[in-house]
Amino acid sequence: MQRALKAAGCRISSQRKAIIDHLASSKSHPSARQIFQEVRNKHPDLSLATVYNTLGVLTRLGQIKVMQFDAEDNRYEPTMSPHINLICTSCGSIEDLRQSVAVRVENILEESGFTVLDSRLEYYGLCARCKSGDRWVSAKE
């Protein structure tokens, strides 16, 4: 991500580096606000605008994906290789399932003439933590 920013002529401040490091080490598909809260612990001068600007540049450069939701904050996906997202409807956690996506993009173009620009495959349900806890009982009732 840092190389892509440098190649695009962007300055790599300590704040941007901390945002990138957080994204690279995160498996939780964080929102901008979550990144802000975490990174701000080490960089108290960090602004939410810096987080949004950095995420916007990384998205435009194809280094991360934006996962848009109607009722929630957008989440940011640092894993660019094809995979399945498992989204918990109770706690909102998102996990990656490293399995091949069922339909190959090349097949879509060959069969329909449709050019795929981006894709996202999601399964919704309950994560192991929620299923084993009290949330599962209340969700069933």
Residues 128 and 133: their CA atoms lie apart, in Å, by 9
In CATH terms, the fold of domain 81-140 is Dna Ligase; domain 1 (3.30.1490)
What SS3 class is residue 30?
Answer: coil
Give the global pTM.
0.74
Q: Percent of the chain beyond pLDDT 70?
A: 93
Ranges of the chain with pLDDT below 50: 137-141
Q: Which of 8, 53, 55 is nearest to 30 (CA)?
A: 55
The predicted pLDDT at position 29 comes to 92
Token couple for 24: 């690279």
User: Any residues with CB less than 8 A from the CB of 110 and at least 6 apart, and which?
Assistant: none
Structural domain boundaries of the chain? 2-75, 81-140
The predicted pLDDT at position 135 comes to 55
Task: Note whether 2-75 and 81-140 share their fold.
Answer: no
Tell me the DSSP string of 82-119: S-EEEEETTT--EEEE-S--SS-HHHHHHHH-PPP---
CATH of 2-75, one of 3.50.30.30, 3.30.420.40, 1.10.10.10, 3.40.50.11900: 1.10.10.10
For residue range 51-91, what is the model confidence (pLDDT) as tens digits? 999 999 999 999 999 988 877 788 998 888 888 899 998 98
